[in-house]
Amino acid sequence: MRRRLCVLTVNGERHERAIAPAATLLEVLREDLGLTGSKRGCDGGECGACTVLVDGEPVLSCLTLALAVEGRAITTIEGVSTDGELHPVQRAFEEQGAVQCGFCTPGMVLSAKALLARNREPSREEVRLALSGNLCRCTGYGRIVDAVQLAAKRMRT
């Protein structure tokens, strides 16, 4: 089918591209915009490695058509730090040893960022629930929960 001209707003920047109707947001981010921080894991909605935020809510970009999010605010891991400063969630992940191979980390950080935007003081269970769609093969999750709680504490003060 014919490509359609579309404007995507990613990390506050407008990108005008001709997009195929069947192109996923993940494909467009990685292949057209060069934003490879969003990872292609299962490519089928199972692992969460491709998680991005759309209007602040976590979305699986491998299951989302790019044309469906025209006009929405898309945030990828590349847009999370500000002025070269890591986001508190990123800093806490680093400090708590919550990153091993790092493949799951962009999706985890974005899911955690969305959680902390709606819940400033989540319990460990609430953190686990919010991250339940993000799979990690390396860390055993405990350090990830520690990191999110540390970030929450710092963001409250």
Asked if 91 is part of the footprint of ligand FES (rule: CB under 6 A), the reply reads no
The number of residues that bind ligand FES (CB under 6 A) is 22
If the CB atoms of residues 101 and 117 are measured against ligand FES, the closer one turns out to be 101
Residue 5, number of CB atoms within 10 A of its CB: 9
Q: Is 139 in the site for ligand FES (CB under 6 A)?
A: yes
Q: Which is nearer to ligand FES, 18 or 22 (CB)?
A: 22
| Interaction residues for ligand FES, span 4-63 (CB under 6 A) | 40-43, 45-50, 60, 62
Task: Please report how close the Cβ of residue 105 comes to ligand FES at its closest, in angstroms.
Answer: 6
The contacts found for 118-121 with CB under 8 angstroms, 24 or more apart, are 120/152, 120/155, 120/156, 121/152, 121/156
Task: Check binding of 104 to ligand FES (CB under 6 A).
Answer: yes
Q: What is the DSSP string of 13-54?
A: EEEEEEE-TT-BHHHIIIIIS--TTS--SSSSSSS-TTEEEE
Q: Interface with ligand FES by CB under 6 A: which residues? A: 40-43, 45-50, 60, 62, 99-104, 136-139
